[in-house]
Chains A and B, each alone.
Chain A
Amino acid sequence: MSETTLFLLLEATGETLYMVILGSFIATLIGLPLGVMLYVTRKGNILEHPTVYRVLSAVINITRSIPFVILMIAVIPFTRLIVGTSIGTNASIVPLSLSAIPFIARIVENALLEVNKGLVEAAIAMGATSRQIITKVLLPESLPGMINGLTLTVIALVGYSAMAGAVGGGGLGDLAIRYGYHRFDINMMLMTIIIMIILVQGIQFIGDKLSEKFSHFRV
């Protein structure tokens, strides 16, 4: 492997990690509160509100049903507005985050639904406010489930980031298309795939370990 190839691979891996990590972070920042809102406004929950729930739920379903490739192109004006350009690593973070937000919102909602309702009831009986119920009971109790769900999202974003790369977003996907596909560089193609596999394995490993650390259900 030439020095140039190595440099290209390292640079692309760095770009992919940058996109995935920042994209996941921004998506969590927005998706987590949305997921909590979905849960608490659901029927029979602490801030039950059918209208809010239905609207939120519908918006999330709509955004989730747009394929990533199309979303990426559709949000170009929005991306330009925020990042100033529609090409490059920074620009691809916008569609990556946008696609992950509804995903994370649902994952958070599902993780919260797994929390025993008796715990919420006990907290209400203690005189807890809704905010306290969320921060002291719901979030800590659902943490292991949420970490598992977030791992899923981060791995999905690795795949999406490759797609973003294909349309000029940089990263491993970009490399694989430009060298592996257009220049028939089989080696480069193989290397990017191997790095992707290592990334996904690594993320899953870290996710599992974290989830285990916070889970006290298992003996």
Chain B
Amino acid sequence: MIILNNLSKNYLTPSGEMIALDHINLHVKPGEIYGVIGKSGAGKSTLIRCVNLLEKPSEGQVIVAGEDLTTLTPPELRAARRKIGMIFQHFNLLSSRTVFDNIALPLELLGKNKKEIAAIVNPLLELTGLTHKKKDYPQKLSGGQKQRVAIARALATEPRVLLSDEATSSLDPETTFTILDLLKNIRDRLNLTILLITHEMSVIKNCCDRVGLLHHGKLLEQNEVSEFFVHPKTDIAKKFIASSLSQSLPPPISELVLASAEENTHPVWRLRFIEKAATQPIISQLINQYNLRINILQANVEYIKKQAIGIMIIALDGEKNKLQQGMEYLQKLNVLVEVIGYVRNDIIPFA
């Protein structure tokens, strides 16, 4: 539905040319929610603004619903933009218009009459739960309500594609969830294709089907969301994931972890598991079958796209060959095992 082909964007700055986007190739399938994550300054905003040509790409193609937007004349481009809804971090609602009239704006631009407008706007108010607010001015609304108005407005022209430019970044976590739920809901109902950009891993985790990681204008990796969490390919991706799943030891313990085994120390493992392994009694298996004693230092199981993803950090005590066997058992179950260090007996006693 959205295809970015070799998309580049350069800016001329007083200090020379700056590359904002560097040969991006990205394909968002129909009905998919695709999230682009990156730190501020990674080029996310430029990327999404290139999709409806708010920014003119320096190079490459932008194909939305089969149409290459970079080749269109201005009137053709305006027509194409009506089929691409967009929502923004700061909502961008008109303060001079009521909720109803804000949603009606794109329809007024199309020259629709009052009756036609009401026939479209009222169901949208219903869908976004704003019917009781229709006569209020945006000033009176909360952030979440404003974003709902913006979503309704973006849907007024029945677009096939919705672009979300950090739409939840100025909302509190709870409101973020309700907005993400609304996005998923309208995707399912209207079979919308959504491209969103965010710097929050929780948005990717809760809402997206696929994710792309943007860093310094380059798309470093793209993957299914659950795969991205379990098998990140780059260090940058690992850092993002680390920031969202707590998977390192709490500082009082991590400071005491030794790099290599010494007398009277225990190994510390980090286990990462998905799918079946996440729901199996692997710990009791280790204890019963391999006679290992286990001390759980940190554990976290998350559900991403109905898939359980677990991360656990454990200290183990047992015979050397049993430890080895235990590790092989885990690896057979597709659990990623990493030895992250060793702790001394007196810090984490097993006795």
Using C-beta atoms within 8 Å of the partner chain, give the interface range for chain A.
Answer: 20 to 34
Contact residues of A between 43 and 85, Cβ < 8 Å to B: none
- With an 8 A cutoff between CB atoms, is A1 at the interface? no
Q: Which residues of A contact B93 (CB under 8 A)?
A: 119
For residue A218, which residues in chain B have a CB less than 8 angstroms away from its CB? 139
Closest to A132 in B: B109
Q: A127-B79, A127-B81 are in contact. Are A122 and B86 (CB under 8 A)?
A: yes
Complex alpha-carbon distance, A78 and B74, angstroms: 43
**Distance (whole angstroms) from the CB of B150 to the closest CB of chain A:** 8
A130 to chain B, nearest CB (A): 10
B92 and A119 form a contact (CB under 8 A): yes
Contact A219-B139, Cβ < 8 Å, known A122-B86, A132-B109, A141-B95:
yes
Residues of B within 8 A of A (CB-CB), count: 28
* Cα–Cα distance between A124 and B139 once the two chains are bound (Å): 23
- Chain A, residue nearest B90 (CB): A118
C-alpha spacing A5/B150, complex, angstroms: 62
- B233 interface hit (Cβ, 8 Å): no
CB of A125, distance to nearest CB on chain B (Å): 4
| Total A-B Cβ pairs within 8 A | 66
Which residues A136-186 have CB closer than 8 A to chain B? Answer: 136-137, 140-141, 143
Task: Tell me if A129 and B92 are in contact (CB < 8 A).
Answer: no
Give the secondary structure class of B's interface.
Answer: mixed
Contact of A125 among B79, B84, B95, B140 (CB under 8 A): B84
Chain B residues whose CB sits within 8 angstroms of the CB of A214 once the complex forms:
96
Cα of A143 to Cα of B94 in the assembled complex, Å: 12
A219 with B105, Cβ < 8 A, contacts A126-B82, A140-B94 known: no
Say which residue of A116, A125, A216 sits within 8 Å of B54 (CB atoms). Answer: A125
Nearest chain B CB to A163's CB is how many angstroms away? 37
Chain A contacts for B109, CB-based, 8 A: 123, 126-129, 132, 136
**Are A216 and B139 in contact, CB atoms less than 8 angstroms apart?**
yes
Of all chain A residues, which has the CB nearest B98? A216
Of B52, B80, B94, which is within 8 A of A119 by CB? B94
Given contacts A127-B79, A216-B137, A217-B139, contact A121 B106 (CB under 8 A): no
Interface assignment of B290: CB less than 8 Å from any CB of chain A: no
Contact B139 A129 (CB under 8 A): no
Residues of B within 8 A of A126 (CB): 81-82, 105-106, 109, 157
Q: Does B97 contact A (CB under 8 A)?
A: yes
Which residues B229-262 have CB closer than 8 A to chain A? none
Q: Enumerate chain B residues within 8 angstroms of A137, measured Cβ to Cβ.
A: 94
Residues of A within 8 A of B139 (CB): 216-219
User: Is B177 interfacial (CB 8 A cutoff)?
Assistant: no
Tell me which residues across on chain A come within 8 A of B81, comparing CB atoms. 124-127
B339 to A: closest C-beta gap in Å? 51
- Of A116, A127, A216, which is in contact with the most chain B CB atoms at under 10 Å from its CB? A127
A residues within 8 A CB of B163? 125
B265-295 vs A, CB cutoff 8 Å, 1 = contact: the mask equals 0000000000000000000000000000000
Contacts of A127 in B (CB 8 A): 77-82, 106, 109, 157
Whether A140 lies near B140 (C-beta < 8 A) is: no
Question: Chain B residue with minimal CB distance to A141?
Answer: B96
B338 in the interface (beta carbon within 8 A):
no
10 A-B Cβ contacts within 8 A?
Answer: A122-B88, A122-B92, A127-B81, A127-B82, A127-B109, A127-B157, A140-B94, A140-B96, A214-B96, A218-B139
A-B pairs, 9 with minimum CB distance: A127-B81, A122-B92, A127-B82, A127-B78, A216-B137, A118-B92, A140-B96, A125-B86, A126-B106
With A118-B88, A140-B97 known, 16 other A-B pairs at CB within 8 A are A116-B90, A118-B92, A119-B92, A125-B54, A125-B84, A126-B81, A127-B80, A127-B109, A127-B157, A128-B109, A132-B109, A141-B94, A216-B95, A216-B138, A219-B139, A219-B140
